[in-house]
Every structure is written in structure tokens, then in C-alpha cells.
Amino acid sequence: MVKVLGIALYDRDISTAIGQILSEQERDNKCLSATGAHGLVYSRKKPQFRSILESFHLNLPDGMPGVWVGRMKGAKRMQRCYGPDFFKEVMIASTASKGISHFFCGGKEGVANRLKEVCEIKFGNHNVVGTFCPPFKPVSEYNYQEIAKIITESKADIVWIGLSTPKQEQFAYHLSKFTEVKFIICVGAAFDFHIGNVRQSPSWIQKLGMEWCFRLFMEPKRLWKRYFEIVPLFIYYNFAEFVTGKFYKKKS
């Protein structure tokens, strides 16, 4: 692990992370998140959200900026663990194993069911045992016990959460108190990407760390406020940390 803005990020690659997950036997509700600059910056501003990320079993580096900072700190083998790619590779790797079942939770009405069909067609994975589309409301208003009961009855091993940061991590954290699964994994827009609702940026743009710019161009009304805050703050917080030699703490 290597800390980026005080949050420990996974310092290896997707294949290594998948190996750890698929070999897991305990049903102890470990939470994972594909964490990019958005989550890291938000954790600087919200101590409660920081505590949630710190409690997670793994925070995968979802974006190249986090990877670059991690490598500068000595994590030379650190690779990007992009949420949509991580989801895809886990679904493919677990296709042959009938012992690993999946549950999709997230997206607008019908998205999770469509994703189940896509996984069967594209990845040959027929081990999706349930789906749930959370109604749009504050994260504090969900009946997590009721949702957990649906998941537990499905006997799923892995629950995938396809909401946006920070809601998905908060949702996963609360849900983990009531479920009986191996992992609860937050993968952001992976659901919409894989069913074709949202266009993914070309790989060369992703490697340059400019995916945020592509997404901003595709969805300017929804994302402009987010990225015009996140990008400068991510640079500033990391620069302050390197200059002072210690983790930057936001003044209250």
C-alpha cells in the first residue's frame, strides 16, 4: 500500500488484486473501492468520508494521477486499477467458477438487469444471482437491513455497487453492517460504461490521465463543477504535501 493524500491505495495491478479476491473464502463483508482523485479530494474535505475509506479492505487506484503520485513515493509496481476494467476482468476470471456468484446494485431503473444480460453475452458469466436498483434519495434514508436481506437470500459472494462517489462508498459501508457476503465493491460508472449508456474515453486518453477532460466534454452540465474543483485541489493538496514533507490538513 502507498498513501496518497493520506489514503492507502493498492500498489500492485489488477491481476494481483483479482487473485486475492477470488481466493478469499471468508464471508466478512470486506469493502473495496476504485478510488480516484474525486474520492481522495472529497476525503480531505469530509473527515467522516475519510474514515469510511480508511476502513475499506482495499482502495484501488482508479485514475492515473493517483498512480503517478504513488510511484513518486516509491510504489514502482503500482498500476491503474480502473473500475470498469477491474469489473470486467473479475467477471471473466470468475466465469468458469460456479462457486463465485455476483449481485449488482446501482444505476437507474433497468441498468443492473441490462448489465446482467451484457455479462452473459460479452463475458460468458451466468453467475449473477440478483440485482437491485436503489431509489434516488439521501444515503441515510435507505433501509439497509431490507436490502441486505435480499442480497443474503440470493447467496451472492460479491456485491457490485454502481453509484457515484461519495454515495457508493457510504452505501457500501452501511450495507456491510448487515450483509453476509465476501466483498462489496464500488466501481462507479462501470455499470453505465458496460451497457453502453455512457461512452468510455479512448485508452490513449486514459493513459495520459486526461479521462476527466473527455468525460467533462461528454457530460458538461453534470460534471463541470466537480472537475473544476477536483483537478486544482488534487494538484494543490499533493504539492503542499511534497513541499512541507507532511500530510496537508485542511483548516477548519
State how far the alpha carbon of 12 is from the alpha carbons of 30, 61, 75, 86, 193, in Å: 19, 9, 8, 13, 24
The number of C-alpha atoms within 13 Å of 147 and in the hemisphere containing its C-beta is 22
Contacts of 235 (CB under 8 A, 6+ apart): none
Contacts of 217 (CB under 8 A, 6+ apart): none
SS3 content of the chain, % helix, strand, coil (to 5): 50, 15, 35
What's the 3-state SS for 176-226?
Answer: CCCCCCCEEEECCCHHHHHHCCCCCCCHHHHHCCCHHHHHHHHCHHHHHHH
The pLDDT profile of the chain, 252 residues, written as one tens digit per residue, is: 999 999 999 999 999 999 989 888 889 999 999 999 999 999 999 999 999 999 999 999 999 999 999 999 999 999 999 999 999 999 999 887 667 999 999 988 899 999 999 999 999 999 999 999 999 899 999 999 999 999 999 999 999 999 989 999 999 999 999 999 999 999 988 898 899 776 666 676 777 676 767 666 667 777 667 767 888 898 899 988 888 766 544 433
Q: Where are the domains of the chain?
A: 2-244
DSSP bridge pairs for 7: 4
